Amino acid sequence: MSPDKAARWLIMSSYLYYQRNTNVLDDGEYDDLSNYVADSFDELSEQLQWQLESAEAIRATGNGIKITKMGESAAIAWHEEMKGELPEGSYPIPHKQWKKDKRFKCHYSIIGG
């Protein structure tokens, strides 16, 4: 798997775990993915490096990763495909938490922030 694809899965997994109280990957798979992405950090696209902050941050936690609106939609679709609907009481990121990034032309929110 390419480092960029692995990073996108890591971002979606962090969103599902920290924002929606559910997961697609088990803890061991998530840890393996985190280590792979951290080891490949310098190979990631500039935007994914920005979203993930640093290799050290990835190894520490998925809390604090930036997710885009597109990433949120992809995470929800991934969960629905793999496990069905999201748990009741699980809500998307509130509108007021989205910030605009001019550099990458996207709206983002800090996971768990």
Query: pLDDT tens digit string along 25-40?
Result: 999 999 999 999 999 9
Residue 65 belongs to domain spanning:
3-110
Q: For the beta carbon of residue 36, count every other beta carbon within 10 angstroms.
A: 16
CA distance 33 to 13: 10
At 52, list the tokens. 């993930």
Residue 92: per-residue pLDDT = 85
When divided into structural domains, the chain yields a total of 1
pLDDT of residue 110: 95
The pTM assigned to this predicted structure is 0.93
The pLDDT tens digits for 47-58 are 999 999 999 999
